[in-house]
Amino acid sequence: MYNRLIRHSGNKDLFQAVSLSVSALASRHPFHLHAEGLRGTGKTTILRAAGQILPPIVRVRGCVYNCHPAWPHCPEHKGLDAAAIERIGREVVPCPFVEISHSAKVGTVLGSIDLRRLVDHSRPMAALLPGTILQAHRGVVFIDEINRLADTAPELADILLDVMGTKPGRVQVEETGLPVVEMPVEVTVWAASNPDEEPGALAQVRKQLADRFDMVVTMGRPSDYRAVMAILAQRAGAAGEVTAAAEPWRGDFRDVTVDEGLRSVLASIYVDYGLESLRAVEGLETAARLAALQAGRRQVLPEDVALVAPAILGHRTDNATLAGIMNHLQASGGRETWIQADSAHGSAREAKPAETAEPGAGASRWGQWWSDLKRRLTTNKAKPEGATGGEDRRAGGTTGTGGIADPMNTAIVAPPHVAVPLAELPKEKYVSGGDGERRG
Ligand SMILES: [Zn+2]
């Protein structure tokens, strides 16, 4: 089903984000995803269908909390040694994929007293019946219309904040007559919402929750005929093409290396662009590693960072800042491609920018890219005063590198129509009161 969905310009970002999230899940690292878009763009269809491509999990036999045999965490299995776990046995089950609606009750989501065991005549006991989230351990929780949930069920939003606050998250179940149970829970949250419908975008309803999502993608409409025709044909019953999707969960993203230069770039993006939370750069690094893993590489390249940056940073910074970050990342990705092409052919010299004429002169590629980035960022400030005349600034007052105008350094041209004293204006240019006869 998932591999039969038609991919087009409007939904390709969501497919990309889903595969990164699934890949992260396979590495036991929840990477939360929020798809925003208008009704009918198919975001819910894609996310529900993606529930079928999740990798199966191995758990302690019969454990409703999905205990990992190596790290049992539930009240029943926690503290058992490996031998005891092996005596119970292990089993492979489908990866959990559960849906929470905005009308769900806290008891069903978190947990409640297991009434069946309480009234068991042979051996009555007060036990916990794990809720949806606890049963989704190591899997995915999907929430459609999360903006509405945050609005009408703030107590469910609070649970999500706990679940998504740390990796893994923690939940606390309190029931009268039972000791408080606190448990780690490792779930990946996928959500969808339409910011144009009541009660508005999630960021406006509950900003804190909106910030907990590692990736936010915007769904759009298909923009080419062929995609629309394929969708129509499929709805009419045609089998359609199957996208050959390589299993995205081969390998652990932690095995993908990030060199020191890249890490310093990420750190500097955080500092120089004033990003609000460290979560953003951590997410950027994780996503770039996941993207490299999918491309079959064990090292992160600039294009990996550029590919994932919009989904990671889009909801955490304003458009102008994101555009600035993207320009630099893309410039760097372009150079990467260009260097490869150049070394392969050795002849295409015409397009060579003068500043890169000495390849590999000591510094690493990242070092070079970083110094280039620094130079661009500081171009405006570093220009010595009076070094350039006013002439080349009149046409908009920007510097040649496309930076922001410095008001102190910009020649201001007066508007062509000079103001005229009121008394010198012809009578008909006065503001009239409608009938034009009001003057005394
Ligand atoms: Zn267990």
- Distance of CA 85 from the midpoint of ligand 1 (Å): 9
Q: What is the pLDDT of residue 416?
A: 55
- Distance of CA 96 from the midpoint of ligand 1 (Å): 15
Name the residues around ion ligand 1, CB cutoff 5 A: 63, 65, 67, 74, 77
Q: Enter the pTM of the model.
A: 0.72
- Distance of CA 169 from the midpoint of ligand 1 (Å): 17
Alpha-carbon gap, residue 52 to 94, rounded angstroms: 9
Residue 394, pLDDT > 50, answer no
- Distance of CA 124 from the midpoint of ligand 1 (Å): 21
Nearest to 105 by CA among 144, 132, 127, 129: 132
Residue 221, pLDDT > 60, answer yes
Residues near 125 by beta carbon (within 8 Å), at least 6 away in sequence: 117, 118
- Distance of CA 350 from the midpoint of ligand 1 (Å): 65
Backbone angles phi, psi at 416, to 5 degrees: -65, -30
- State the DSSP H helix or E strand holding residue 19, giving kind and residue range, or none if neither: helix 12-26
- Distance of CA 127 from the midpoint of ligand 1 (Å): 14
Q: What is the pLDDT averaged over residues 285-291?
A: 94
Nearest to 139 by CA among 180, 100, 178: 100
- Distance of CA 92 from the midpoint of ligand 1 (Å): 14
Mean pLDDT lowest among 154-158, 165-169, 230-234, 240-244: 240-244
- Distance of CA 123 from the midpoint of ligand 1 (Å): 21
Give 166-181 pLDDT, tens digit per residue. 888 888 887 777 778 7
Cβ atoms of residues 336 and 302 within 8 Å = yes
Q: What is the pLDDT of residue 400?
A: 42
Residue 79: DSSP 8-state: T
- Distance of CA 64 from the midpoint of ligand 1 (Å): 7
Mean pLDDT lowest among 3-7, 76-80, 210-214, 369-373: 369-373
Residue 422, pLDDT > 60, answer yes
Mean pLDDT lowest among 187-201, 212-226, 348-362: 348-362
- State the DSSP H helix or E strand holding residue 129, giving kind and residue range, or none if neither: strand 128-130
- Distance of CA 78 from the midpoint of ligand 1 (Å): 7
Nearest to 72 by CA among 60, 87, 61: 60
- Cα Rg of the chain (Å, integer): 29
Residue 257: DSSP 8-state: B
Q: How far is CA 294 from the centre of its chain?
A: 17
- Distance of CA 138 from the midpoint of ligand 1 (Å): 12
- Distance of CA 86 from the midpoint of ligand 1 (Å): 13
Q: What is the pLDDT of residue 368?
A: 56
Nearest to 38 by CA among 192, 256, 231: 192
H runs (alpha helix) in 53-129: 82-88, 106-110, 115-118
- Distance of CA 74 from the midpoint of ligand 1 (Å): 4
Cβ atoms of residues 333 and 325 within 8 Å = no
- Distance of CA 31 from the midpoint of ligand 1 (Å): 23
Alpha-carbon gap, residue 304 to 221, rounded angstroms: 25
Q: What is the pLDDT averaged over residues 136-143?
A: 96
- Distance of CA 68 from the midpoint of ligand 1 (Å): 8
- Distance of CA 214 from the midpoint of ligand 1 (Å): 28
Question: What is the overall mean pLDDT for the chain?
Answer: 78
Q: What is the pLDDT of residue 388?
A: 42
User: Which token pair is 101?
Assistant: 């609606």
- Distance of CA 88 from the midpoint of ligand 1 (Å): 10
- Distance of CA 185 from the midpoint of ligand 1 (Å): 12
Residue 369: CB atoms within 10 Å: 22
- Distance of CA 59 from the midpoint of ligand 1 (Å): 8
- Distance of CA 69 from the midpoint of ligand 1 (Å): 8
- Distance of CA 62 from the midpoint of ligand 1 (Å): 8
Alpha-carbon gap, residue 116 to 126, rounded angstroms: 9
- Distance of CA 61 from the midpoint of ligand 1 (Å): 8
Cβ atoms of residues 325 and 269 within 8 Å = yes
Residue 408, pLDDT > 70, answer no
Q: What is the pLDDT of residue 379?
A: 43
User: Which token pair is 282?
Assistant: 């951590």
